Amino acid sequence: MAVKYNPAMDRRKKELGDEAESWTTAYVVDVLSELPADSRNATIDAILALMDRHFRPDRPNSPNDPVQTVRKHAAQAKDPGLDDEELVDHLQRFVHVAQHSDSWGFDMWGWIPDGSEAGGRPIALEVKSSGATRFMMSASEWARAEAFRPDAGEAATYAVLVVRRKGTSTPAAMDLLEDPVSLVPESLAQSVATYEFAYEADSLDASPR
């Protein structure tokens, strides 16, 4: 059976994906920007520590290397002389790593607070836009999820965040699936031989940060 390429549909899918990433970036930046400066700086350092466990600069001496670019904006976001607009700009460029390169295997850094003022943990977020409780992943995204598998007793450091839409300008829900590899097959059903997944929203702790 011949499958026709529909450029309009492809553009719309990209628009929906970009919209979901924009919502998530705004959410994460809002969480970070509301922290006291000392707590925010500690959070930035924790995210960088996780990044350093998995990534090294491909071109250490190049200002265009994506890892170096993220580090630059992290440092700039810690500048106590920034006004609110400058802080938000650098936080956006720090957390939304996919805008710098497609090679990360996820879209952005997130932060999951644990209830205390400064406590919490960093997490890599692969953002999906969907009209239902299902989504697709690429082989490279799934490989990154496998590479981020936590050691025994450790918390997840990679998650899929499904931004569910329902014909409105705002998300109907944001479902967080931490360590998706461990969720297959009990909580996350995988289609045979593909990277298409389905889940039950009621089984999740949907509290993205």
What confidence tens digit (pLDDT) does each residue in 111-158 have? Answer: 998 765 557 899 999 999 998 999 999 999 999 999 999 998 899 999
Give the helix/strand (H/E) hosting 16.
helix 7-33
Mean pLDDT score, 71-92: 97
Higher pLDDT, 108 or 15: 108
Query: Over 70: is that where the pLDDT of 204 sits?
Result: no
Cis preceding-peptide flag for 208 (omega within 30 of 0)? no
The pLDDT of residue 168:
61
The pLDDT of residue 32:
95
Share of the chain above pLDDT 90, in %: 70
Global pTM value: 0.86
Q: Is 145 exposed, middle or buried (0-12, 13-18, 19+ CB in 10 A)?
A: buried
138: DSSP letter: -
Tens digits of per-residue pLDDT, 157-167?
A: 999 999 998 76
Tens digits of per-residue pLDDT, 12-65?
A: 455 655 788 999 999 999 999 999 999 999 999 999 999 999 998 776 667 789
The pLDDT of residue 145:
97
Mean pLDDT score, 196-205: 82
In the sheet where 173-178 sits, what is the strand order? 108-113, 120-130, 158-164, 173-178
Q: Is 182 helix (H, G, I), strand (E, B) or coil?
A: helix
- Strands (DSSP E) contained in 114-187 are 120-130, 134-136, 158-164, 173-178
